[in-house]
């Protein structure tokens, strides 16, 4: 008789990595998320976080979270659909919709839940979803939950997307969904071409701007603002766990679309609402972004400083125009050992290994914060070079 847990008992990948001393995950923070953090008794330069605007430790954001807890308590004890809607939720939704130049907005408990809830509500059995192959895992899972037929196109390949769109019957609804900024590579979606193809073939466009909000566009409104296409993108979703220094997610679109999601999204209807503390923190962060758009340029400047510095030191990186800068390490073992050694040297980075990347294309994913200093970046770059040079020729 087959035991359901057989696969669990047989799994030894993590165990082997721990025993060999190169397991790189679940390091414990003992401080606020910031440019300098404390982890397991060490002071670290943090270049592995998505705290893009440096707001997780901002006193206004922290105080807003504390004040909301004192006023509303620690939770809402129910779904937005029933007893869980606060006036604070509605205030935040109104301000976020206005900031992103859309008619309406609703918020979810997490960014992952947002993609599940939006896609599964909007697309059904008689629809087609066209999804970039490098889209986030939450998009993949959202398409599965929708029961729509999902057609994946090669990453950023507009010829492949058009070929697939051209074969789609006019009798089916069509949704093109793409990350705005791709979380592992830092690539920016080819949004002008996607919008053009959507108009040509009668499709709607949804952008996952988790890594675009607060990062792209003059005012930090995201990928659509970056390209001047805010009116042409039908649905924008994003998260509060990155630039807005909290947890949760959102969708903005025209009112009828958002209202449909509110009344038809199972992940939305059957999940408890965002906590008061998380909502207030994200709202405070949004107001700081609106008041201090110069943070967006500061983020771009420090990212470019790092990008040019890594190149000048002879490291091969995936070139992008975003604060996500992956450094090639090629093989899994070398990648994990490098991340562990950097941790010991006081620099925190993230390993990207299969299945997140093909074998032979492993990366160290680094990401930057508007409040990083050049001095911190110089130290981090020199440590990265030192560690990677010491691992040249390492056999897998």
Nearest to residue 283, comparing CAs of 112, 46, 72? 72
Q: What percent of the chain has pLDDT over 70?
A: 99
Summary mean pLDDT of the chain: 96
Per-residue pLDDT tens over the stretch 338-376: 999 999 999 999 999 988 888 889 999 999 999 999 999
Say what the pLDDT of residue 92 is: 98
H helices within 244-352, ranges in order?
Answer: 255-264, 266-269, 276-291, 294-312, 332-344
Written as six digits, the tokens of 282 are: 């994200």
Average pLDDT of the residues in 149-171:
97
Average pLDDT of the residues in 191-209:
98
Written as six digits, the tokens of 267 are: 């992940």
Written as six digits, the tokens of 350 are: 């993230």
Say what the pLDDT of residue 78 is: 96
Per-residue pLDDT tens over the stretch 62-101: 999 999 999 999 999 999 999 999 999 999 999 999 999 9
Say what the pLDDT of residue 51 is: 98
Strand order through the sheet with 324-330: 324-330, 362-367, 350-352
Band of pLDDT at residue 249, cut at 50, 70 and 90: very high
Nearest to residue 336, comparing CAs of 315, 318, 350, 322? 350
User: Which residues lie below 8 Å from residue 98, measured CB to CB, with a gap of 6+?
Assistant: none
Catalytic residue numbers, as ranges:
183, 211, 242
Per-residue pLDDT tens over the stretch 293-312: 999 999 999 999 999 999 99
Q: What percent of the chain has pLDDT over 90?
A: 94
Query: Residue ranges of the domains in the chain?
Result: 14-46+293-390, 59-291
Strand order through the sheet with 42-46: 36-39, 42-46, 347-348
Per-residue pLDDT tens over the stretch 308-346: 999 999 999 988 899 999 999 999 999 999 999 999 999
Band of pLDDT at residue 396, cut at 50, 70 and 90: low
Q: With 80 as the cut, is the pLDDT of residue 394 above it?
A: no
For the segment(s) 59-291, the CATH number from 3.40.640.10, 3.40.50.1390, 3.90.950.10, 3.30.365.10 is 3.40.640.10
Say what the pLDDT of residue 31 is: 97
Per-residue pLDDT tens over the stretch 92-145: 999 999 999 999 999 999 999 999 999 999 999 999 999 999 999 999 999 999
| 374 φ, ψ (degrees, to nearest 5) | -65, -35
Q: Report the Cα–Cα distance between both ends of the chain, in Å, rounded.
A: 37
C-alpha–C-alpha distance, residues 79 and 76, integer Å: 8
C-alpha–C-alpha distance, residues 79 and 111, integer Å: 16
Per-residue pLDDT tens over the stretch 5-23: 999 999 998 999 999 888 9
Average pLDDT of the residues in 273-285:
98
What pTM did the predictor assign? 0.96
> Does the domain spanning 14-46+293-390 belong to CATH 3.40.50.150?
no
With contact defined as beta carbons under 8 Å apart, do 285 and 320 qualify? no
Q: With 90 as the cut, is the pLDDT of residue 230 above it?
A: yes
200 CB neighbour count, 10 Å cutoff:
11
User: Which residues lie below 8 Å from residue 54, measured CB to CB, with a gap of 6+?
Assistant: 34, 35, 295, 369, 370, 371, 372
Say what the pLDDT of residue 392 is: 83
Say what the pLDDT of residue 355 is: 84
Written as six digits, the tokens of 79 are: 């779904």
C-alpha–C-alpha distance, residues 195 and 188, integer Å: 14
With contact defined as beta carbons under 8 Å apart, do 273 and 79 qualify? yes
Say what the pLDDT of residue 393 is: 72
C-alpha–C-alpha distance, residues 291 and 278, integer Å: 20
Q: 268-306: buried (b, 16+ CB within 10 Å) or exposed (e) per residue?
A: bbebebbbbbbbbbbbbbbebbeeebebbebbbebbebb
With contact defined as beta carbons under 8 Å apart, do 299 and 305 qualify? no
With contact defined as beta carbons under 8 Å apart, do 67 and 280 qualify? yes
With contact defined as beta carbons under 8 Å apart, do 133 and 154 qualify? yes
């Amino acid at each position: 008789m087959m035991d359901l847990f057989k696969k669990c008992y047989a799994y030894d990948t993590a165990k082997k990595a721990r025993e060999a001393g190169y397991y790189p995950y679940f390091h414990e923070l003992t401080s606020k998320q910031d440019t300098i953090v404390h982890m397991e008794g060490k002071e670290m330069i943090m270049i592995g976080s998505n705290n893009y605007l440096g707001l997780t430790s901002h006193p206004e954001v922290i105080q807003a979270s504390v004040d909301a807890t004192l006023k509303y308590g620690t939770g809402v004890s129910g779904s937005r659909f029933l007893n869980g809607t606060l006036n604070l939720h509605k205030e935040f939704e109104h301000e976020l919709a206005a900031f992103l130049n859309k008619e309406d907005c609703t918020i979810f408990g997490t960014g992952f839940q947002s993609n599940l809830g939006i896609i599964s509500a909007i697309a059904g059995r008689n629809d087609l979803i066209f999804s970039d192959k490098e889209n986030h895992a939450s998009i993949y899972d959202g398409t599965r939950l929708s029961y729509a037929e999902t057609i994946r196109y090669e990453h950023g390949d507009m010829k492949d997307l058009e070929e697939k769109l051209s074969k789609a019957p006019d009798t089916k609804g069509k949704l093109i969904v793409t990350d705005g900024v791709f979380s592992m590579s830092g690539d920016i979606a080819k949004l002008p071409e996607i919008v053009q193809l959507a108009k040509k073939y009668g499709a709607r466009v949804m952008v996952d701007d988790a890594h675009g909000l607060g990062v792209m566009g003059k005012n930090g409104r995201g990928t659509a603002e970056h390209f001047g296409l805010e009116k042409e993108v039908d649905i924008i979703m994003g998260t509060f766990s990155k630039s807005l220094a909290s947890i949760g997610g959102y969708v903005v679109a025209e009112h009828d679309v958002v209202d449909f999601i509110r009344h038809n999204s199972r992940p939305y209807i059957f999940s408890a609402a965002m906590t008061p503390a998380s909502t207030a923190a994200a709202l405070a962060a949004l107001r700081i972004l609106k008041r201090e758009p110069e943070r967006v340029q500061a983020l771009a400047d420090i990212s470019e400083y790092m990008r040019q510095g890594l190149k000048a030191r002879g490291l091969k990186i995936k070139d992008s125009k975003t604060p996500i800068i992956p450094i090639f390490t090629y093989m899994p073992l070398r990648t994990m050992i490098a991340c562990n050694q950097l941790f010991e040297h006081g620099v925190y980075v993230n390993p990207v290994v299969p299945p997140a990347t093909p074998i032979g294309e492993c990366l160290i994913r680094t990401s930057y914060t508007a409040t990083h200093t050049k001095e911190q970046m110089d130290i981090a770059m020199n440590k990265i070079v030192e560690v990677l040079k010491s691992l040249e020729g390492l056999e897998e």
